[in-house]
Amino acid sequence: MYKKLLIVVLIFLFLKKEAFPQNIDGDSSWARLDQVLSNYGDNYLLQQHAFFKHREDGLKFWKLYPNDPRRYEWFLKTVYLGKYLYYLSFQEKMTQSIQSLLIKGRETYSLPINEKAIKHWNGVYPNLKKEFLDYYAKNRSLKLPGIDTKIRIELLLLTEELKEFLSLSLNEKFRKNSKIDLHRLKSLFISSGKYLTQENFQKPSLIQATIFEPMDVQFISIYKQYGLDSNDMKDFFRAIKNSSFPLLQNWANQRRLLFTLIERPLLFKHVTIQGDTIDIEKMRGKVVLLNFWSIWCSGCIKKMPAIKEVYDKYKAKGFEVISICANDIDMIEKVKRIEKNVGSEWPVLMIGNASTEGTLGQKIWLKYGFWGVPQLLLLNKEGKLVMLNDKLLSGTFEPLVKKLLNENYNLN
The CATH number of residue 285's host domain is 3.40.30.10
- pLDDT at residue 342, rounded to an integer: 96
Is residue 121 within 8 Å of 55, Cβ to Cβ?
A: yes
Q: How many CB atoms lie within 10 A of CB 275?
A: 6
pLDDT surpassing 80 at residue 22? no
Residues 254, 275: one domain?
no
- pLDDT at residue 282, rounded to an integer: 94
Alpha carbons within 13 A on the beta-carbon side of 109:
14
Residues 101, 68: one domain?
yes
According to DSSP, residue 112 is labeled P
| Residues 62-71: tens digit of each pLDDT | 999 999 999 9
Pairing mode, strands 375-379 and 287-293: antiparallel
Average pLDDT over residues 34-44: 75
Alpha-helix residue ranges (DSSP H) falling in 19-67: 26-35, 44-64
45 is a domain residue:
yes
pLDDT surpassing 80 at residue 42? no
Residues 17, 142: one domain?
yes
328 is a domain residue:
yes
- pLDDT at residue 24, rounded to an integer: 59
210 vs 238: CA distance, rounded Å: 22
Residues 120, 17: one domain?
yes
Domain count, the chain: 3
| Residues 239-271: tens digit of each pLDDT | 999 999 999 999 999 999 999 999 898 888 999
Residues 217, 278: one domain?
no
Residues 326, 231: one domain?
no
Read off the amino acid at residue 366.
L
| Residues 81-96: tens digit of each pLDDT | 876 666 665 444 444 4
107 is a domain residue:
yes
147, 190, 303, 314: which is closest to 182 by C-alpha? 190
- pLDDT at residue 326, rounded to an integer: 96
Burial of 385 (C-beta count, 10 Å sphere; 0-12/13-18/19+): buried
Is residue 226 within 8 Å of 169, Cβ to Cβ?
A: yes
Is residue 285 within 8 Å of 318, Cβ to Cβ?
A: yes
Q: In residues, how long is the chain? A: 412
- pLDDT at residue 369, rounded to an integer: 86
Last residue of a domain, one of 263, 293, 313: 263
138, 86, 91: which is closest to 113 by C-alpha? 86
Q: How confident is the model at residue 379 (pLDDT cuts 50, 70, 90)?
A: very high
206 vs 393: CA distance, rounded Å: 23
| Residues 218-242: tens digit of each pLDDT | 999 889 989 999 999 999 999 999 9
Angle 410-411-412 (CA atoms, 0-180°, nearest 5)?
90
- pLDDT at residue 44, rounded to an integer: 63
- pLDDT at residue 97, rounded to an integer: 47
Angle 200-201-203 (CA atoms, 0-180°, nearest 5)?
70
Domain of residue 243 covers: 177-263
Residues 246, 273: one domain?
no
309, 333, 336, 332: which is closest to 321 by C-alpha? 309
Most confident residue range from 49-53, 171-175, 200-204, 268-272: 268-272
Average pLDDT over residues 323-330: 96
Last residue of a domain, one of 213, 232, 263: 263
167 is a domain residue:
no
25 compared with 307, residue with greater pLDDT = 307
**The pTM is what?**
0.82
Is residue 13 within 8 Å of 20, Cβ to Cβ?
A: no
Average pLDDT over residues 153-160: 92
Average model confidence (pLDDT) across the chain: 85
Quote the crossing angle between the two packed helices 70-80 and 26-35, to the nearest 10°: 20
- Cis link prior to 374 (omega < 30° from 0)? yes
185 is a domain residue:
yes
Burial of 373 (C-beta count, 10 Å sphere; 0-12/13-18/19+): buried
143 is a domain residue:
yes
Residues 135, 181: one domain?
no
- pLDDT at residue 99, rounded to an integer: 46
241, 210, 355: which is closest to 294 by C-alpha? 355
Question: What percent of the chain is modeled with pLDDT above 70?
Answer: 83
74, 88, 79: which is closest to 174 by C-alpha? 88
Residues 237, 294: one domain?
no
Average pLDDT over residues 195-214: 86
57 vs 99: CA distance, rounded Å: 26
Is residue 319 within 8 Å of 379, Cβ to Cβ?
A: no
332 compared with 371, residue with greater pLDDT = 332
Residues 6+ apart with CB under 8 A from 395: 303, 306, 307, 309, 310
Residues 125, 206: one domain?
no
pLDDT surpassing 60 at residue 3? no
Q: How confident is the model at residue 41 (pLDDT cuts 50, 70, 90)?
A: low
Last residue of a domain, one of 125, 147, 169: 147
Average pLDDT over residues 318-340: 97
pLDDT surpassing 60 at residue 20? no
Is residue 210 within 8 Å of 159, Cβ to Cβ?
A: yes
Average pLDDT over residues 114-137: 91
Average pLDDT over residues 144-165: 82
| Residues 139-153: tens digit of each pLDDT | 877 666 666 666 788
